[in-house]
Amino acid sequence: MAATTPLEALGRPLIFSVEDVDGGDLSAPDPRLDSAQRTRVRALSGMQKEALVTSSVSGDTWRIVSDEGEYLDGADVAPSPLACMTTGMVCSYMNEVQAVAERRGVDLDDVTLIQDNYYTMKGSALRGTMTGGALPVDLTARVDADADEETVREIVETATETAPINGLMDGERISRFALAHNGEEIDPDRVEGLDRPVLHEERDPFEAISREADERDPPLLYRTGETTERLPEGEEKYTSGQGSSLEEEQDRILHLRGICTVGDDGIKTVRVKIFSPQGTIFELRSEEPEGHGGQGRAPDAASYMAAGIGFCFMTQFGRYAEIVDKELTDYRIVQDTHFSGGVRDVGSEEPGRAAPVETNVYLDTPEGPEFAREILDMSEQTCFLHAFCRTDLDGPNVDVTID
């Protein structure tokens, strides 16, 4: 059967490690904390996007992709942006649960973490009131251990504090932006600007990477073909259906669940279910780099989180342009994130920290610069994950079950 979407037409695994770069520079920024990620994202057609995430810790670059389901008229080839974020978050927590337990000499077997993320979208796109929001996170740990529940709960709660993602949840992190319109830098309007010029890369990094990549067995990303079943307690603001997320006026809740387990090989598998809007179940695999608790055989937690933020932001550009019926010829970003290390890296149980997300935005459009500023403002305003950054969520609500 012939390929039907741009991602399929590229003929590569959906996730792979970039080994060869032909004349391109895929460096990461100098870390302000313990690690930094530079995430380059380009839009393909429809809701499909492709990211290259480079880590300062390993120097490795992972190619990660995103798509949407029928709720955004997507092709449903790859997970949604929020699924990438849920994967990175729950893996970040799993890393820390393992590290804290090891540091305290507590043997935990068969740990399963179940994380529920909730987001909101409310208001009118045409009136400029549509706003994305983030709600508190729920985290359930199911553990086979000889330790008592209080001991395990303390380990899990400590892990949620030491995890790098805590830096984006504890307090308000206002993202910063630089903007280029048809190749010319212009000042943003309402969003907070960067205190430096927009970055310019001499060559398209996506065209510089090797065309060859082998699929892993099992694959790092697997589309199960299963669709989530509506939860009995699903709220009235849960949505489903063709194009439901493209409506001009919205008042809805998004709900995703990531179920994280660790295989005998040490690689984490996250099964991501999207309950609202209802969507396809995907499985993603993750592992930390060598010297940091893993062997680098799959994308690390921070790379998934960085990709998720970039993908979600990019989705808002395409969605807003479609709603207001404006032409957006091409759009892409270069995004920098900075996180502290976990317990294994810093050797203590210090709270996780993060710097504000910094994003360079490149828009090609026959519309004028005022539209470029408008769509940047609205994309930040409606982005669930920039809302996640600017909302004080105070860590997840933790529940523990001992088997």
Which residue type is seen at 241?
G
For the stretch 115-133, pLDDT in tens is 999 999 999 999 999 999 9
Does residue 187 carry a pLDDT above 60? yes
For the stretch 16-63, pLDDT in tens is 999 767 656 788 999 999 999 999 999 998 899 999 999 999 999 999
Q: Which residues contact 386 (CB under 8 A, 6 or more apart)?
A: 132, 175, 309, 312, 313, 357, 380
d(CA 199, CA 181) in angstroms, rounded, equals: 13
- Look over the chain and give the mean of its residue pLDDT values, rounded to a whole number: 93
Fold assignment, 26-402: GMP Synthetase; Chain A, domain 3 (3.30.300)
d(CA 302, CA 96) in angstroms, rounded, equals: 13
Give the start-to-end residue ranges of the domains of the chain: 26-402
Task: Supply the DSSP string of 345-377, one letter for each residue.
Answer: HHSS-PPP-BPPPEEEEEEE-SS-HHHHHHHHH
Q: Which helix (H) or strand (E) holds 193?
A: strand 192-193
- Residue 202: the pLDDT is 67
Confidence of residue 282 (pLDDT cuts 50, 70, 90): very high
Token pair 């660790």 is found at 262
Q: In Å, how far are 42, 183, 194, 326, 402 from 356, measured between CA atoms?
A: 21, 25, 11, 30, 37
Percent of the chain's residues with pLDDT above 70: 97
- Residue 212: the pLDDT is 66
Task: Supply the DSSP string of 260-305, one letter for each residue.
Answer: EEE-TTS-EEEEEEEEETT-EEEEEEE-PPBTTTB-SSS--HHHHH
Does residue 109 carry a pLDDT above 80? yes
Confidence of residue 10 (pLDDT cuts 50, 70, 90): confident
- Residue 20: the pLDDT is 67
Q: Cis link prior to 277 (omega < 30° from 0)?
A: yes
Query: b/e per residue, 94-125, with b = 16+ CB within 10 A?
Result: bbbbbbbbebeebebeebbbbbbbbbbbbbeb
* pTM of the model as a whole: 0.96
Does residue 169 carry a pLDDT above 90? yes
Does residue 297 carry a pLDDT above 60? yes
